A and B are shown apart, each in its own frame.
Chain A
């Protein structure tokens, strides 16, 4: 997984939100990252710091909310918790498990300084 590109993706999202919302500074970026998402968080934190330099999110904290992995086991016919993609079903051992939650990588929210008044 390419953490540098992901960090750049976050920067674009932040810049577009700033453009539209006119906030002055970003204090924290809140991500929602599923436990099944293909991303190295350590590496992403490093890239985030580098990529945000010189932007209004320079020095911003990166808060990561994890979402547990869930899959649908075809053999059991029910949702089962899964720790990693392509792991067998914890109940029956089948590999026919389709991930249904925990693969997301989203920017959920921004903690910003709303110093700029927006004309309504």
Chain B
């Protein structure tokens, strides 16, 4: 289960001490190379590994010599990234999007930072210039997708249930169901959570992190992974600054300490302040993709 949001299965356990790893007392029989990618369940391994294949074939490993009927411990060398599956789907999504010149952004933030409001405002501003479609990720409800549809843009809601982030396989399914036109903009609103979505590449062109001025300036330091993974930060709700003690310069400095390359826009999704720069960035960033398609 996720220690931040308590997502996942079962009850939240507090103060559960780490189990000491049981040492395997098994006699190991040396390392045996295993494929980087396993074959699909109904595929028999090919007799010969294809020349240019990026897979090491299981069949190429040394043969085993077992005493029949005797169960033996054996150490299989695997060497596979735990997130490799997600990264594979993400790469496929990225290719699929690039072929169609679709510019995809993955919007991430804590709940309530203003992602949906920002999306609605952005869609309105882009109306008539470029088609925008939205994938909405929430644990439950269709609310946000309905808010998007009210702007006239197509939106598909993904409910992750207890899951606290979208993954690339979910997005792959959504891509097949949304009728996306070539050269369009796809906005993905991730589940409100500043931790988990950082690790899951969806195939987007850029992650955009939204921090609102009603949160702490030190959020970038407390949740650095997300600010490191993002290319753009929108500091939202700046219309409220006169009423708050929030130090915007400090927040930006903290975010840049984590990620010196971060592009920052100070915006208000309610008043539209700062939107010219934000929209200008979208135009500039998507131009090469739209051209190549």
Query: Which positions in A face B, CB cutoff 8 Å?
Result: 1-6, 9-10, 12-13, 16-17, 19-21, 23-25, 27-28, 31, 38, 40-43, 45-47, 50, 61-64, 85-86, 95-96, 104-115, 117-118, 120
Q: 20 additional contacts, CB 8 Å, given A1-B199, A38-B199, A114-B71?
A: A2-B199, A3-B2, A5-B163, A5-B165, A6-B83, A13-B80, A17-B76, A21-B34, A27-B26, A27-B73, A28-B22, A31-B82, A42-B18, A46-B13, A61-B23, A86-B221, A105-B83, A111-B76, A113-B72, A120-B63
Q: Which of B38-46, B128-136, B230-238, B277-285 is found at the contact surface with chain A?
A: B38-46
B10 at the interface (CB under 8 A from A): yes
Chain A positions within 8 Å of B79 at CB level: 106-109
B16 at the interface (CB under 8 A from A): yes
Closest 8 CB pairs of A and B: A16-B38, A4-B8, A61-B22, A114-B74, A2-B196, A9-B82, A28-B24, A42-B18
Query: Which positions in B face A, CB cutoff 8 Å?
Result: 1-4, 7-10, 13, 16-19, 21-24, 26, 28, 31, 34-35, 38-39, 41, 45, 58, 63-64, 66, 68, 70-86, 162-165, 167, 195-196, 198-200, 221, 224-225, 228, 257-258, 260
Chain A positions within 8 Å of B41 at CB level: 19
Check A114 against B196 for contact (C-beta < 8 Å).
Answer: no
**How far is B84's CA from A6's CA once the two chains are assembled, in angstroms?**
10
Do A111 and B257 form a contact, CB below 8 Å, given A2-B163, A10-B82, A23-B76? no
Chain B positions within 8 Å of A105 at CB level: 81-83
**How far is B66's CA from A21's CA once the two chains are assembled, in angstroms?**
14
**How far is B227's CA from A95's CA once the two chains are assembled, in angstroms?**
14
Do A106 and B82 form a contact, CB below 8 Å, given A1-B2, A111-B74, A113-B73? yes
**In the complex, what residue of chain A is closest to B57 when comparing beta carbons?**
A20
Chain B positions within 8 Å of A23 at CB level: 74, 76
Chain A positions within 8 Å of B3 at CB level: 3, 40, 42-43
What's the minimum C-beta distance from A73 to chain B, rounded to whole angstroms?
14
Check B224 against A50 for contact (C-beta < 8 Å).
Answer: no
